[in-house]
């Protein structure tokens, strides 16, 4: 498995692939790979000839007091998992390569990134759009796969691609869950057994809302009240937001239009910040 660290090498390798008419699929990740990431790689492999996985813990998408320094890093293990899942190449640059001294250019999406996680993490999506725009420019993939688990990120990227005329198809893949429903996340490894049990309340709250919608309850306030009540019974869970939003704009809606809305939750489980969502 080829692992490329330099931008120049990545550009020339991608150029070479394009000259051979290979369809390039990109899966951007921050490493600490789990089955959710691997499902994106497999989906990319179904749709593209060559799958490139980027592994980069992107400093600009972390706030000052967030977990950038402690974010789990294990490149050899991640490369092995990428290979097993069918990836062809890993792009793993250093932070200095991506943001050299004096770096000063950023990409900002100014609508979708303001709601939900944008409120509690005001510079997060600027970091995401900047790194994804850079990856698109370096690799020029034909398609890129993102996970529904980070639904707002997917919507922001789609908007950026549309607004800035990137020639890349954005594919959003379903959320992969643990058998009991907890959404897989690189941050789950930071949960103790007790926290892990309490974290399940997030999925249960989403699941409850989905059941209510299927039973004919469309009022957002009622659904949110039920979901927050459920999580409120867990001592270690502190809800950051529970919202019902339009899937495209991420703006809050008062009534669920089935097929158009989703419930999104962000919560602290002690010091671990988790997000999840469910399509309604
Ligand atoms: P991350 O490494 O957390 O930045 O995530 C990299 C990509 O994997 C993003 O597109 C995420 O949405 C996606 N992803 C993370 N967790 C899951 C999951 N449980 N199921 C599907 N995709 C996921």
Domain region containing 109? 2-173
The Cβ of residue 142 has, within 10 Å, a number of other Cβ atoms equal to: 18
For the CA of 186, the closest atom of ligand 1 is 3
pLDDT band at 190 (very low <50, low <70, confident <90, very high): very high
Burial 101-115 (b: 16+ CB within 10 A, else e): eeeeeebebeebbeb
The tens digit of pLDDT for each residue in 105-147 reads 999 999 999 999 999 999 999 999 999 999 999 999 999 999 9
Residue 229 appears among annotated catalytic residues: no
Q: What 3-state DSSP class applies to 204?
A: helix
Token pair for 86 = 């069918």
CA torsion through residues 257, 122, 181, 54, sign: positive
Q: Do 19 and 134 belong together in one domain? A: yes
Tell me which of 111, 140, 173 is where a domain ends: 173
Tell me which of 149, 173, 197 is where a domain ends: 173
Q: What 3-state DSSP class applies to 255?
A: strand
Q: Do 134 and 158 belong together in one domain? A: yes
Q: Do 159 and 113 belong together in one domain? A: yes
The tens digit of pLDDT for each residue in 232-259 reads 999 999 999 999 999 999 999 999 998 9
C-beta of 146 in contact with ligand 1 (< 6 A): yes
Residue 18 C-alpha to ligand 1 middle, in angstroms? Answer: 26
Residue 217 C-alpha to ligand 1 middle, in angstroms? Answer: 30
Q: What 3-state DSSP class applies to 227?
A: helix
pLDDT score at 130: 98
pTM of the model: 0.98
The tens digit of pLDDT for each residue in 63-121 reads 999 999 999 999 999 999 999 999 999 999 999 999 999 999 999 999 999 999 999 99
The tens digit of pLDDT for each residue in 19-59 reads 999 999 999 999 999 999 999 999 999 999 999 999 999 99
CATH number of the domain bearing residue 73 = 3.40.50.620
Residue 212 C-alpha to ligand 1 middle, in angstroms? Answer: 27
The tens digit of pLDDT for each residue in 207-231 reads 999 999 999 999 999 999 999 999 9
Q: Do 9 and 53 belong together in one domain? A: yes
CATH number of the domain bearing residue 220 = 3.30.1300.10
Q: Cα separation of 137 and 131, whole Å?
A: 10
Whether 24 maps to a domain, the answer reads yes
User: Partners of 264 in the beta sheet?
Assistant: 243, 277
Q: Do 169 and 190 belong together in one domain? A: no
């Amino acid at each position: 498995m080829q692992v490329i660290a330099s931008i120049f090498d990545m550009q020339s390798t991608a150029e070479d692939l394009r000259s051979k008419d290979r369809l390039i699929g990109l899966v951007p990740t921050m490493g600490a790979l789990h089955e959710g990431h691997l499902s994106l790689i497999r989906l990319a492999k179904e749709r593209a000839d060559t799958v490139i996985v980027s592994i980069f813990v992107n400093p600009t998408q972390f706030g000052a007091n967030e977990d950038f320094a402690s974010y789990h890093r294990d490149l050899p293990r991640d490369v092995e998992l990428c290979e097993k899942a069918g990836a062809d190449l890993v792009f793993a640059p250093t932070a200095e390569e991506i943001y050299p001294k004096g770096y000063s250019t950023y990409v900002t999406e100014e609508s979708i990134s303001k709601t939900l996680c944008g409120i509690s993490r005001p510079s997060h999506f600027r970091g995401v759009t900047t790194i994804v725009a850079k990856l698109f420019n370096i690799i020029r993939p034909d398609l890129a796969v993102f996970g529904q688990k980070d639904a707002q990120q997917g919507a922001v990227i789609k908007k950026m691609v549309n607004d800035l005329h990137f020639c890349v198809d954005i594919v959003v893949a379903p959320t992969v869950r643990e058998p009991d429903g907890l959404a897989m996340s690189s941050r789950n490894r930071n949960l103790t057994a007790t926290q892990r049990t309490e974290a399940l309340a997030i999925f249960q709250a989403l699941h409850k809302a989905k059941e209510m919608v299927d039973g004919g309850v469309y009022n957002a306030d009622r659904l949110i009240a039920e979901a927050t009540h459920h999580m409120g019974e867990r001592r270690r869970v502190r809800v950051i937001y529970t919202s019902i939003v339009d899937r495209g704009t991420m703006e809050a809606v008062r009534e669920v239009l089935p097929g158009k809305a989703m419930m999104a939750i962000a919560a602290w489980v002690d010091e671990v910040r988790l997000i999840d969502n469910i399509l309604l």
